[in-house]
Amino acid sequence: MAKRKTSKRHYRMITFKVFEDTDNDILDWWEGIDEGERSDALRDLIRGYLGKQPRRNKLLTIPELLEVRQDTLWIRDALNEMPGYLERLVQHVAANGVAQIAMQPMARSPTNGDVLPATEPALSDNDSDRRARRMKRSQW
């Protein structure tokens, strides 16, 4: 018995030029895609541009894989934002002088209710007197 020939899908090739001096971002993206997935990626991009839903990979319809994908995207975003966050944190600490307090050497650590000796009074005498007068005037 002769085997039946399966009909091949008809296709048309679409090509375009990418210039190495001005399109490095496109080339980097292109080379980052596995060779077997490049056509699908382009089809999804074009469908997205046309306002149509890209065809989903059947593996991504499994709920567990969708959750892993979402978690991975969240981690990637968090790692991308981390340098900016750390820079803002360091600037905030430096601006508020918190780093100076943390870097002062401690004479001894407080244990069992011991209080560390103060190197200078918390309030000056004038401030202390003014505070005492205000406390007397206040009604509780």
For 122-135, write each residue's pLDDT tens digit: 677 888 888 888 87
What is the spatial distance between Cα 129 and Cα 135, in angstroms, rounded to a whole number?
Answer: 10
For 97-116, write each residue's pLDDT tens digit: 655 555 555 555 555 555 55
H/E segment holding residue 67:
helix 63-96
Confidence category of residue 45, pLDDT binned at 50, 70, 90: confident
Is residue 19 pLDDT above 90, yes or no?
yes
This prediction has a pTM of: 0.35
What is the spatial distance between Cα 89 and Cα 82, in angstroms, rounded to a whole number?
Answer: 10
- Burial of 61-79, coded b for 16+ CB within 10 Å and e otherwise, reads eeeeeeeeeeeeeeeeeee
